[in-house]
Structure formats: C-alpha cells, structure tokens
Amino acid sequence: MNTRWPHRGLYAITPDDNDTVRLVERARVVIESGATWLQYRNKHADARLRARQASALRELCAAAGVPLLINDDWRLAEEVGAAGAHLGEYDGDIEAARAALGDDALLGASCYDDIGRARCAVDAGASYVAFGAFFPSPTKPLARQADVALLQSAAPLGVPRVAIGGITPDNARGLIAAGADLVAVISGVFDAADPAAAVRAYLCAFAPLPNDPRNPQGKPSEETR
C-alpha cells in the first residue's frame, strides 16, 4: 500500500453532475470538511466532459493534498494525472492498469461479495479492495449484497478495505469495527442538506472504539482526516 496517502476515513464519491463549476464547488465543501479520498464518478457524461471535470477535480485535490481517483477508467486517470483509479468488474485489467499507472498509484477493485475476487485483485496489483453493498443503496438499488464478515476475511490481504453501499453515519461504526478502513459514500454526503456536517458525522464514526486493536490506547488516529 502506498503510504503517501492516509487510508482511514471517508472516501467520497462524486454524484452524476454535468455542471462542472457546481460539481467542483460541491467537492470543495466535502474535501475541506475532511474527506480522506475523492473519487470522480459520472456515468452520464461524454468523454470530453469527463476529461474536463476530472482535470478540474485534479487541480482541486492537488491543492488540498487529497488523492483523486477516477472511476472505471484508468486511462483517464493517467491522462489527467490523478492519484489513481477504481475499477469495477468490467472496467479493465488490474495488472494492465498497474503497469500503466506505476507503483505509486492508488488502484482499487470492486469485489462486491466475493473474497476470491479480492485475492485475485491484490495479486494483480490492487492497492485496496472494496466490498458492498452492505445496505440498500439509492445509487445502485440492485447491487449485490455483501456480508460484514467479508471485511474480517479480507484482513490477511494486507491492503485497506473499503465498505460501500447505503452507508450512513449510524451504520458505519459497525463496518469500521469489523475492519473497514474507509467508508465510501455518494448520496449520504452530496445529497445531504448540509454536506459539511454530513462529512463530520461520518468521521465521528471513526472515533476510537474500546479494545480496538488498531488503536489500543484509544487515541485519535493520525490517518483519520
């Protein structure tokens, strides 16, 4: 795992928004409120708009010291100089993406409900693995459902574990206790009446838990933004 970036906290994923100025301003609030990573995701934009938006978010993230990852498209990540990419089941080969982006890139893999897929992704060069949906998700209502035990099963892989799918500040703590290093959220932050307050609420879920082996003294983690 590239230790350049913190890998514990809120992994914010942008909503579909074709207004670039508005999207950047929405992302700015989320980043300034403490998001650890930002992923650019826009399923409805054409290639030209995606490139323009990704470049604008890259500048924002670079200024804030937050990594930008590109959803589904490692070639776009390479083009705009993003910190990395996140690949789903049909978004290309992890090994090819690693070879193109280099050893320092953050490269994630959607593993859904499949620990075997996670093992293969790490072997191919993934920096982290993502499981979910853990709860019903307004973004992907038909997503495969993952069991919380997957987070524990993935611990021996030695990479950060991301939980996604219907996560709220209330249910995030149980996933974190089970081993999630980051919780990935779209609507829970970007559709909130007060996105800044929503970010802070998610970060509160990372407050030290009793007998947490990752933080035995009960001190705030330096990796939690």
Residue 142, both tokens: 């038909």
Residue 193, both tokens: 């009446």
**Per annotation, catalytic residue among 8, 26, 41, 173:** 41
Residue 141, both tokens: 């209502």
**Per annotation, catalytic residue among 117, 119, 140, 200:** 140
Judge whether 121 and 94 are in contact, CB under 8 Å.
yes
**Per annotation, catalytic residue among 55, 110, 127, 137:** 110
Q: Is there a catalytic annotation at residue 22?
A: no
CA dist 202 and 186 (Å) reads 12
CA dist 1 and 112 (Å) reads 20
Peptide bond into 133 cis (omega under 30): yes
Backbone dihedral angles phi then psi of residue 122, each to the nearest 5 degrees = -65, -40
Q: Is there a catalytic annotation at residue 140?
A: yes
Which residue numbers are catalytic? 41, 110, 140
